[in-house]
Amino acid sequence: MATYVAQMSHIHLGSDMTEVTEAYGFRGRTMIDRDGDKIGKIDDVYEDKQTGRPEWALVNTGLFGTKKTFVPLQGAAPVGEDVRVPLEKEHVKDAPSIEADGELSESEERQLYTHYDVAYDADGDYDVVTEEEQRTVPVRREEGRVEREPITDANARS
């Protein structure tokens, strides 16, 4: 179960060792997806009640930032003034609509874990489900040819 928090502590977030204090500094920053596309402004940070780790960001999304969406902080990292998450903007856009009332119930949290493909465990343990993806990308290649010509008196002055 995750709860909105206002206090600061020094706990590490996930395997990438993002400091908890750093996660609380995410408030007010722009969240971007893995491709650098803007998702929205981070409004609040929710922490797991059992582990004390920041777990979810409540992000103002939508055309005018009027929709509030929960986004997992696992794998989140600051990039300049922004916060990058390893998700696609469309995946966040399709997240379940959950009211931000200061605490996520187990059922709401389970919905979010399912949507973001993170294995849910009521004891606070979770694993990320990783998928491999192959993409075809355009590649531009240029070729040049060098012709060598010996230097002679005739072409040395040209």
Question: What tokens does 144 get?
Answer: 């040049």
Q: Is the pLDDT of residue 146 over 90?
A: no
77 neighbors 16 (Cβ within 8 angstroms): yes
Look up the CATH number of the domain holding residue 72: 3.90.50.10
Higher pLDDT, 66 or 40: 40
> What's the total number of domains in the chain?
1
User: Tell me, what amino acid is at 131?
Assistant: E
Per-residue model confidence as pLDDT tens digits over 147-158: 888 888 887 776
The residue written with tokens 């465990």 in the block is 121
Which pLDDT score is estimated for 69? 93
What is the residue range of 109's domain?
Answer: 2-156
